[in-house]
Amino acid sequence: MQPKARPLSEDDRDALAAFLVSGMPADAYLLDALDMGGLPGFFGAWSGESLDGVAFQRRGAVSAASRTSDDAARALAVALSARDPWTSIVGPERPCSFLVDAYRESQPFRVDRVQTFMAVVRGDALGPGESGVRRATAADLDALVPMIAAYRVEDGLSRRGDDHSAWIRTHTKERVESGNLFVLESGGRIVFTGAFNFAGRFGSGLGGIFTEPSERGKGLASRAVADMCRMALARGPVATLHVAQDNAAAIRAYEKAGFRIAGRYRLTFR
């Protein structure tokens, strides 16, 4: 029987929650989205009364649950690709690849790659901390905008010469106001920044992690990330992140902080 995809309703909440919990830690983002925003944007693919897959689209962000079967992913891809415009597909590599393929004919991709997915679970040993990392404030904006612009170029999210400073300032200001952006200073200047892309009682996702090139190799990032993990794990059971597969230095730093490789994520932007 081919799964049939449809929007999920309140009657489906328990089945959805159980499906996502069984896919932890990869599905922490979707559990947070359900907890914070409710059911709008969630689709399920059903074989009779069995939920075989879950996908999500809200405010242009698209994802899929890690335990989604291939047949369910195909059905969900058809349902979602006919909906509102999308800006990103980020999530477990195999089911999200079906979503990417469904959009491939209609939209050019600016970024399309597979990332290494990493996670740390409450109770795991974390690396040394006491880094001095702190929440960013509005006074940090002028220093942060060029740092985040450099991060975006280095990570392949922007091309060298792109002027995204106005968007970066607005986005950074929003993260500062939400309390989800962090910085570390050395010698009177900001040398590290990182953020929580989401943070809730089901888990947190770290992102936007950048150390000034002149300060790399000193252990700053691993200590700051370990401290951010301590904040995250005081609130929820897992902390996650995803990183370019060929960024060996970053992977080593995250492993020193306490993270372990836990799978692969798809990262696609139009």
pLDDT at 158: 85
pLDDT at 163: 78
Name residues whose C-beta falls within 8 Å of residue 252's C-beta, 6 or more positions apart in sequence.
none
What are the pLDDT digits (tens) for 86-108?
A: 899 999 999 999 999 998 876 67
> Residue 118: in which H helix or E strand, if any?
strand 111-121
Strand locations in 38-95, DSSP E?
42-47, 50-58, 61-64, 88-92
**Structural domains in the chain, sorted by start:** 4-107 (3.40.630.30), 134-264 (3.40.630.30)
pLDDT at 83: 81
| Buried-exposed string 178-206: b where 16+ CB fall within 10 A, e elsewhere | eebbbbbeeeeeebbbbbbbbbbebbbbb
Mean pLDDT value across residues 26-41: 97
pLDDT at 252: 96
Whole-number Å distance between alpha carbons of 234 and 214 = 32
Residue 84: is its pLDDT beyond 90? no
pLDDT at 107: 66
Mean pLDDT value across residues 205-219: 96
Phi first, then psi: what are they for 111, rounded to 5°?
Answer: -135, 135
What are the pLDDT digits (tens) for 173-192?
A: 999 999 999 999 999 999 99
Q: Is 197:187 a contact under the CB 8 Å cutoff?
A: no
Which tokens hold the place of 237?
Answer: 């059971």
Residue 256: is its pLDDT beyond 70? yes
pLDDT at 160: 86
Q: Is 57:84 a contact under the CB 8 Å cutoff?
A: yes
Q: Where is average pLDDT lowest: 24-28, 38-42, 100-104?
A: 100-104
Q: How many helices (H) and strands (E) does the chain have?
A: 8, 12
